[in-house]
Structure 1
Amino acid sequence: MSLAVLVYLAVINVIAFGLYGLDKYRAMNNMWRIPEKTLLGVAAIGGAYGAYLGMRIFRHKTKHLKFQIGVPIMMLVWIYFVTKGFPEIR
């Protein structure tokens, strides 16, 4: 795996973690929230591990079924991509 991919995954996971923390803060303070599609979207594009850690550490979105199932599935998909390689785009 290239250094660029590793840097991308590190950055997107830090962003995902931060978004979950920020959304939790906003939820507790009755502020404008980050849409669920954004939280799931950032997990889908490589931030699944940061999203999962954010869910657990901040105790945020842990009761929503689409997060309970969706984020771990995205983690498995990214394990596959990292270990087996990315599919070719034609």
Structure 2
Amino acid sequence: MDIFTISFLIVINLVTLLLCWSDKRAAVNHTRRIPERLLMLLTIAGGSAGMLAGMLIFRHKTRDARFRITVPVVLVAETIFCILFYTLPHNA
């Protein structure tokens, strides 16, 4: 993997994890929440590991079937994509 991809994945997963924590805190305190659409968009954009970590660490969105199903499926799909993309030969 190149440095750009690794950096992107680290940043998007940290951002997703922090937003998950922030949304959980907002839910507990009954303050303004992070839109679910944004959390799901970040998950699909590469932050699935961060979202899954946030779900497990902060016990957040674990009752929501959309997150409970989508996040692990996206994580597996992203992992398979990365493995295939970075191991198969490319014709350039």
The interval holding the TM-score normalised by the smaller chain is: over 0.9
How big is the shift at 1:85?
1.0
Cα distance per residue 1:40-83 (max 9 Å; x no partner): 11010000000000001000000110001000011011101210
> Taking structure 2 as the reference length, what is the TM-score of the superposition?
0.90
Question: Which residue type is aligned with residue 28 of structure 1?
Answer: V
Q: Give the 4+ runs in structure 1 shifted more than 4 A.
A: none
Distance 2:3 2:31 in 1: 38
Aligned to 1:9: 9
- The structure that has the greater radius of gyration is 2
Distance 1:74 1:9 in 2: 14
- Consecutive unaligned residues of structure 1, counting only runs of 5 or more, are none
> Taking structure 1 as the reference length, what is the TM-score of the superposition?
0.92
- Consecutive unaligned residues of structure 2, counting only runs of 5 or more, are 87-92
Distance 1:83 1:4 in 2: 16
Task: Give the superposed CA RMSD.
Answer: 1.0
Residue identity over aligned pairs, in percent, reads: 36
